[in-house]
C-alpha cells in the first residue's frame, strides 16, 4: 500500500515535468529570442522556426546533463526512495510556482539556479529530519549535502554578471567604432571579416556546448574539440570569411541577418542541451529511484546508491520534452512578456518604460555621468570628437527604417550573440558554472549601455529595470531554498494530505498569476492602442488622436467619479487603488502629447498659428493630468492620515459639482470621438453653471470657516478639489475650442 502512494508521487512528478518545461521555456526563451526579435532580423514566425529547430536538436544533446539532479547537490546513497520522492516533489512544486511568478511579472531568471537551490533546500530539510531522528550532530549535515556546489554557483553569479556586462559593453564599443551606426556602407569593407569572426565563434559554441552531451559523437571527436579550439576557430574563420565575401559580392545577401539567425539557433540548442535537466531531471530521478527501489526486497528502506551511477535517457523521452518546449515557445503569452522586458531595456529609441525609477538607480546615473565628465577632461579634444562622430546614435536616423520599429540594429544583435556564445563556450571549456540567462541578459545590457541606448531621458528607468532583474536573481536562490525547505517539511509530516494541499496551492497560484498577467497585458494593450509609431499619414494620425483624447477624458471622468466617492465614504483601500492609476493617466497624457508632436512632423506645416494650437493642446492635457493627480494625492493623504472626513453638507455640495463636471467631460469626449459639433452651447452652459456653483460654494465655505465647523485641513482639501475640478473643466473648453477652430 505504501509503495503505491510513492507510485502516485512519481506520476505527479512526471505530470509536473510538463508544467515545469512550460514555465521554464517561458522564462528562458528570452535567452535566445531577444537579439533576433529586437533587431527584427526576420519575420517573427521565421525566428520561432529557427529557435524551434535549435530546441529539437539541443534536447538530443542533453542526456549527459541528467545526473545533476540525481547527485549534483546531495549524496543519494544516504537517502531512501521515500525520502528522495519527498525531496523531488518539493522541488518540482516550488519550481513551477517560482518560475510562473517570475514569468507573470516579465522578469528573466535562471532556471539552473532555481533548481539547484530547490534541491539544496529540500535536501537540507530531509537531512535535518534524519539527523534529529537519529540523534546525530548537526555537523553530520555535510555528509548528506554537497554545500560546495551552492557556493560555487553563487560565486558564478557574481562573476558572470560583472564579466558579461563588461565584455558586452567593450565589444559593442569597439564594433561600433568600426562600423558606426551607419553600418551598411562599412559592411562592404569589413563585413566578411566580422562575419567570419562571428560565425566561427558561434560554431565553436555549438560544438563545445553540444558535443559533450551527444551520444552519436565519438569520444575521440569530443577530445579533439576540447583540445584544439584554436585550430577549429582559425580554420572556420577563414572558410566563413571567404563564404561571406562571396555572398555579399555576388548575391547581395545581408550577412548580419544570417549571423543573428544562426546565433539564435545556437543559443536555443545550448539552452535545450543544458537546461532540459532543470525541468525533467528531477522527475526522471524520482522515476529511477522508484524503479530501483521496487527491484529490491525492501523498497522503503534501501539506500539509493544506484542513483550515483551513470544514467541513460531514451531519445523518445527527450524528443517529447523538445516538442513541449517548441509548443510553449509558440503559444506562451508569458514568454512574449519576458522577452519584451529585455528588449525594452535595450531599446535604442524612446518608448513606455516598464520600470519606475528609485533612489539607488538615480545615484548610479548621477555618479556615472560625473565619471564620464571626468573622462572627457582627460581625453584630448580631437580624440573625443573622433570617437563621438563614430558612435553617435544620431546617424542611425539615416539608416534606421522606422517603419520596422526595431529596438536596436543588426550590429548590436550580432554582438550580443557572438559575445554570449564566446563567454559561455570559454566558461564551459574551463568547467566554470554559469547561467545562460545571466550571461545573455548582461551582455545585452552592456551593449545597450555602450550604444548609448540609456540616454539622459531613459537611463534611470533602464538601470532601475536592470537592478530589479538582478535583485530577482538573488531572490530566486533565497525563495527557491526557503520554499522547498518548507514544502519538504510539510510533505514529511503530513504525507499525502500535505501533497494534496501543495498541489491545490500550486493551482491557486497559477490561476492568480494568470489573472494578474492578463490584467497587465490589458493595461499594456491600452497603451499600444494609443501609440502612433506605425502611422505614417498625418490625417489618420489626427483622427486617431481625437479618439485618444476622448478615451483619455473618459478615463479621467471615471477615475474622478470613483475617487471622489471613495473620499466621501472615507474608503482608504478604494483611494489606494485609484492613486495607483495616476501613473497610467500621466502616461496616457505623455503618449498623446508625443503623438501630437508626430502629427506636427508629419504635417510639415510651418504655420505659427496652427503650431501654437498644437502647443496649447499639449499644455491642456498636462494641466488636466496635474489637476487629476492633485485631487487624488490630496484625498489619499487626508484619509490615510486619519483626518476628519468631509462634512455632510460638503459631500452634498461636491456631489453636485461632480455631476456637472462629469457632464462636461462626457460632452467633450463625445464631440472628440465622433468628430462633430455636439451640443457645444450645452457644454458652455455646463461650465457657466460650474463657475456659478463654485462662487456659491466659496461663500458657504467661508461661513463654515468662521463658525469653525470646517477645520483648516478640511477647508484646504475642499477648496483644492473645487479649484482642480474647475481647472479640468476650463482646459476641456480649450480643447473643444481648438478642435472646432483648427482640427475640424
| Residue that is written with C-alpha cell 569572426 in the block | 197
User: CA 353, CA 343: separation in Å to the nearest integer?
Assistant: 11
Q: Is 532 helix (H, G, I), strand (E, B) or coil?
A: coil
C-beta separation of 129 from 538 below 8 A? no
Q: What average pLDDT does the segment 516-522 reach?
A: 68
730: Cβ–Cβ under 8 A, 6 or more apart, which residues? 687
* Angstrom distance (rounded) from CA 127 to CA 124: 5
pLDDT grade for 79, boundaries at 50, 70 and 90: confident
User: Between residues 88 and 677, which one has the greater pLDDT?
Assistant: 88
Q: CB burial class (10 A; 0-12, 13-18, 19+) of residue 378?
A: exposed
For residue 45, the SS3 value is helix
Using CA atoms, how far apart are residues 344 and 299, in angstroms rounded to an integer? Answer: 53
Helix 538-568 and helix 572-580: axis angle, to 10°? 160
N- to C-terminal Cα separation, the chain: 81
Contacts of 354 (CB under 8 A, 6+ apart): 106, 340, 341, 344, 345, 461, 465
In angstroms, the CA 459 to CA 350 distance is: 11
Is 440 in contact with 286 (CB distance < 8 Å)?
no
Cell output for 356 = 519606475
The residue that leads in pLDDT, 92 or 138, is 92
Cα–Cα dist 259/29, whole Å: 19
- pLDDT (mean) for 123-131: 89
> Which residue shows C-alpha cell 540525481?
70
**pLDDT of 399:** 43
Residue with cell 555602450: 450
Across the strands, what pairs with 80?
303
Residue with cell 555535510: 142
pLDDT at 489 (0 to 100): 93
Residue 465, exposed/middle/buried by CB under 10 A (0-12, 13-18, 19+)? buried
Q: Is 603 within 8 Å of 538 (Cβ atoms)?
A: yes
Task: At 224, list the grid cell.
Answer: 579533439
Residues 6+ apart with CB under 8 A from 100: 23, 334, 509, 510, 513
| Residue with cell string 560625473 | 370
74, β-bridge pairs: 145
Model confidence at 459: pLDDT above 80 = no
CA 630 remoteness from chain centre? 31
Q: What is the dihedral of CA 603, 609, 613, 614, to 10 degrees?
A: 30
Q: Return the CATH fold of 535-743.
A: Methane Monooxygenase Hydroxylase; Chain G, domain 1 (1.20.58)
Pairwise pLDDT comparison (114 vs 353), residue with the higher score: 114
Say yes or no to pLDDT of 404 above 70. no
β-partners of residue 145 are 74
The string of pLDDT tens digits covering residues 147-202 is 776 677 677 777 888 899 999 999 999 988 888 888 877 888 888 898 899 888 88
Asked if residue 605 has pLDDT above 70, the reply is no
Q: How confident is the model at residue 709 (pLDDT cuts 50, 70, 90)?
A: confident
Residue 744 has pLDDT above 60, yes or no: no
Which pLDDT band, with edges at 50, 70 and 90, does 524 fall under? Answer: low
Determine if residue 675 is left, alpha or beta; phi over 0 gives left, psi from -120 to 50 gives alpha, anything else beta. left
- The 3-state DSSP class for residue 43 equals coil
User: DSSP class of residue 140?
Assistant: G
- For residue 536, the model assigns a pLDDT of 63
Q: What DSSP state is assigned to residue 676?
A: S
The mean pLDDT value for 632-645 works out to: 87
476: nearest Cα among 36, 111, 54, 82? 111
In contact, 554 and 662? CB cutoff 8 Å:
no
For position 611, what pLDDT does the model report? Answer: 62
Exposed/middle/buried for 9, CB within 10 Å: 0-12, 13-18, 19+?
A: buried
Identify the burial level of 191 via C-beta atoms within 10 angstroms of its C-beta, where 0-12 means exposed, 13-18 middle and 19 or more buried.
buried
CA distance 112 to 400: 37
pLDDT tens, residue by residue, 27-46: 777 777 888 888 888 888 89
pLDDT at 349 over 70: no
CA distance 111 to 131: 30
Query: What pLDDT is attached to residue 484?
Result: 93
Please name the residues in contact with 649: beta carbons below 8 A apart, sequence gap of 6 or more: 700, 704
Q: What's the CA gap between 631 and 582, in Å, rounded?
A: 10
> Is the CB of residue 293 less than 8 Å from the CB of residue 299?
yes
With the CA atoms of 204, 210, 211 and 214 taken in that order, what torsion angle do they form, in degrees rounded to the nearest 10?
Answer: -160
| Residues 392, 335: Cα–Cα separation, whole Å | 33
Q: What pLDDT was estimated at residue 551?
A: 82
User: What backbone phi and psi angles, to 5 degrees, belong to 303?
Assistant: -75, 150
Question: Would you state the pLDDT for residue 743?
Answer: 45
Summarize the confidence of residues 490-500 as an average pLDDT: 89
Where does the pLDDT of residue 400 fall: very low under 50, low under 70, confident under 90, or very high at 90 and above?
very low
Please state which of the ranges 506-520, 541-555, 606-620 shows the lowest mean pLDDT. 606-620
pLDDT at residue 432 in the model: 63
Show me where the domains of the chain are located.
2-523, 535-743
In this predicted structure, what is the pLDDT of residue 371? 82
Give the pLDDT score at 485.
94
Q: Which three cell numbers stand for residue 302?
A: 534501501
Contact 658, 560 (CB under 8 A): yes
Interval 83-98: pLDDT, tens? 888 998 999 999 899 9
Query: 217: how many CB neighbours lie within 10 A of its CB?
Result: 15
CB contact set of 662 (below 8 Å; sequence gap of 6+): 557, 560, 561
Radius of gyration of the CA atoms of the chain, in A: 31
With beta carbons less than 8 A apart as the criterion, state whether 621 and 593 touch. Answer: yes
Neighbour count for residue 102 (Cβ, 10 Å): 27
- Residue 398, pLDDT above cutoff 50: no
Assess contact for 484 and 122: CB atoms under 8 A.
yes
Q: Is the pLDDT higher at 744 or at 302?
A: 302
Q: What is the mean pLDDT of residues 627-655?
A: 88
What's the farthest any 2 CA atoms get from each other in the chain? Answer: 98
Shortest CA distance to 442 belongs to which of 396, 406, 473, 480? 473
pLDDT at 397 over 60: no
CA distance 331 to 335: 8
Over range 319-323, report the average pLDDT. 85
Residue 214 pLDDT class (50, 70, 90 cuts): low
Query: Looking at residue 488, what is its pLDDT?
Result: 92
pLDDT of residue 94: 92
pLDDT for residue 402 is more than 50: no
Cα–Cα distance between 350 and 407 in angstroms, integer?
9
Q: Does position 403 have pLDDT exceeding 60, yes or no? A: no
pLDDT of residue 531: 57
Task: Copy the grid coordinates of residue 28.
Answer: 528562458
CA distance 308 to 304: 8
* Displacement of CA 227 from its chain's centroid (Å): 39
158: three-class secondary structure by DSSP: helix
For the record, the C-alpha cell of 316 comes out as 523518445
| CA distances to 39, 205, 344, 399 from 453, in Å | 14, 28, 10, 16
pTM for the full predicted model: 0.75
Ramachandran assignment for 405, one of left (phi > 0), alpha (psi -120 to 50 degrees), beta (any other): left
State mean pLDDT over 643-657.
88
Mean pLDDT of the chain: 80
Q: Which tens digit of pLDDT belongs to each residue from 279-314?
A: 787 888 888 888 888 888 787 888 877 777 666 666
Average pLDDT over residues 230-247: 89
Q: Where are the alpha helices (DSSP H) in 569-581?
A: 572-580
Helix (H, G, I), strand (E, B) or coil at 99: helix
Amino acid at each position: 500500500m505504501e509503495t503505491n502512494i510513492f507510485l502516485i508521487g512519481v506520476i505527479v512528478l512526471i505530470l509536473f515535468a510538463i508544467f515545469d518545461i512550460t514555465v521554464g521555456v517561458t522564462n528562458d526563451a528570452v535567452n535566445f529570442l531577444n537579439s533576433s526579435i529586437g533587431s527584427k532580423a526576420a519575420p517573427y514566425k521565421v525566428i520561432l522556426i529557427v529557435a524551434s529547430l535549435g530546441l529539437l536538436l539541443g534536447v538530443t544533446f542533453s542526456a549527459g546533463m541528467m545526473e545533476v539532479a540525481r547527485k549534483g547537490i546531495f549524496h543519494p546513497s544516504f537517502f531512501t526512495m521515500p525520502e528522495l520522492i519527498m525531496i523531488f516533489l518539493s522541488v518540482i512544486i516550488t519550481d513551477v510556482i517560482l518560475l510562473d511568478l517570475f514569468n507573470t511579472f516579465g522578469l528573466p531568471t535562471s532556471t539552473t539556479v532555481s533548481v539547484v537551490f530547490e534541491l539544496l533546500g529540500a535536501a537540507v530539510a530531509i537531512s535535518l529530519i534524519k539527523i534529529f531522528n537519529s540523534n546525530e550532530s548537526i555537523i553530520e549535515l555535510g555528509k548528506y549535502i554537497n554545500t560546495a556546489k551552492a557556493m560555487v554557483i553563487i560565486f558564478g553569479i557574481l562573476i558572470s554578471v560583472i564579466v558579461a556586462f563588461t565584455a558586452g559593453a567593450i565589444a559593442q564599443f569597439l564594433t561600433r567604432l568600426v562600423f558606426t551606426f551607419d553600418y551598411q556602407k562599412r559592411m562592404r569593407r569589413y563585413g566578411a571579416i566580422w562575419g567570419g569572426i562571428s560565425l566561427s565563434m558561434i560554431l565553436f559554441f555549438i560544438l563545445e556546448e553540444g558535443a559533450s552531451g551527444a551520444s552519436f559523437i565519438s569520444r575521440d571527436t569530443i577530445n579533439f574539440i576540447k583540445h584544439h579550439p584554436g585550430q577549429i576557430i582559425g580554420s572556420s574563420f577563414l572558410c566563413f570569411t571567404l563564404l561571406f565575401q562571396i555572398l555579399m559580392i555576388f548575391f547581395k545577401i545581408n550577412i548580419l541577418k544570417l549571423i543573428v539567425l544562426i546565433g539564435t539557433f545556437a543559443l536555443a540548442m545550448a539552452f535545450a542541451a543544458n537546461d532540459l535537466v532543470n525541468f525533467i531531471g528531477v522527475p526522471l530521478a524520482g522515476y529511477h529511484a522508484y524503479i530501483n527501489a521496487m527491484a529490491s526486497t525492501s523498497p522503503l528502506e534501501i539506500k539509493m546508491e544506484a542513483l550515483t551511477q551513470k544514467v541513460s535517457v531514451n531519445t523518445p523521452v527527450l524528443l517529447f520534452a523538445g516538442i513541449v518546449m517548441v509548443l510553449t515557445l509558440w503559444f506562451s503569452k508569458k514568454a512574449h512578456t519576458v522577452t519584451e522586458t529585455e528588449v525594452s531595456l535595450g531599446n535604442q529609441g524612446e518608448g513606455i518604460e516598464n520600470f519606475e525609477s528609485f533612489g539607488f538607480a538615480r545615484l548610479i546615473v548621477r555618479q556615472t555621468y560625473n565619471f564620464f565628465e571626468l573622462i572627457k577632461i582627460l581625453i584630448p579634444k580631437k580624440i573625443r570628437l573622433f570617437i563621438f562622430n563614430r558612435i553617435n546614435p544620431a546617424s542611425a536616423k539615416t539608416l534606421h527604417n522606422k517603419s520596422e520599429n526595431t529596438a536596436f540594429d543588426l550590429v548590436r544583435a550580432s554582438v550580443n550573440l557572438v559575445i554570449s556564445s564566446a563567454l559561455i563556450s570559454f566558461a564551459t571549456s574551463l568547467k566554470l558554472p554559469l547561467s545562460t540567462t545571466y550571461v545573455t541578459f548582461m551582455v545585452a545590457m552592456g551593449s545597450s549601455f555602450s550604444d548609448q541606448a540609456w540616454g539622459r531621458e531613459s537611463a534611470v528607468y533602464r538601470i532601475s529595470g536592470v537592478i530589479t532583474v538582478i535583485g530577482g536573481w538573488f531572490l530566486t536562490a533565497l525563495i527557491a531554498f526557503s520554499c522547498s525547505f518548507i514544502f519538504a517539511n510539510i510533505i514529511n509530516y503530513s504525507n499525502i494530505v500535505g501533497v494534496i494541499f501543495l498541489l491545490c496551492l500550486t493551482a491557486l497560484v497559477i490561476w492568480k498569476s494568470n489573472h494578474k498577467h492578463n490584467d497587465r497585458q490589458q493595461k499594456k494593450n491600452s497603451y499600444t492602442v494609443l501609440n502612433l509609431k506605425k502611422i505614417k499619414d498625418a490625417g489618420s494620425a489626427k483622427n486617431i488622436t481625437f479618439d485618444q483624447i476622448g478615451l483619455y477624458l473618459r478615463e479621467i471622468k471615471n477615475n474622478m467619479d470613483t475617487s471622489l466617492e471613495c473620499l466621501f465614504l472615507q474608503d482608504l483601500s478604494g483611494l489606494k487603488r485609484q492613486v495607483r492609476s495616476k501613473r497610467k493617466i500621466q502616461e496616457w497624457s505623455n503618449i498623446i502629447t508625443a503623438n501630437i508632436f508626430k502629427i506636427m512632423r508629419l504635417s510639415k506645416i510651418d504655420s505659427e498659428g496652427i503650431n501654437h494650437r498644437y502647443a496649447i493642446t499639449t499644455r491642456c492635457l498636462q494641466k488636466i493630468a496635474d489637476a487629476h493627480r492633485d485631487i487624488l494625492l490630496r484625498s489619499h493623504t487626508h484619509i490615510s492620515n486619519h483626518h476628519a472626513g468631509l462634512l455632510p453638507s460638503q459631500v452634498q455640495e461636491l456631489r453636485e459639482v461632480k455631476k456637472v463636471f462629469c457632464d462636461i467631460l462626457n460632452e467633450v469626449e463625445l464631440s472628440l470621438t465622433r468628430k462633430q459639433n455636439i451640443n457645444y452651447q450645452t457644454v458652455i452652459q455646463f461650465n457657466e453653471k460650474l463657475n456659478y456653483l463654485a462662487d456659491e460654494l466659496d461663500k458657504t465655505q467661508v461661513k463654515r470657516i468662521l463658525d469653525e465647523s470646517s477645520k483648516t485641513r478640511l477647508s484646504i482639501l475642499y477648496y483644492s478639489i473645487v479649484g482642480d475640478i474647475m481647472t479640468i473643466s476650463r482646459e476641456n473648453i480649450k480643447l473643444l475650442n481648438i478642435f472646432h477652430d483648427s482640427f475640424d
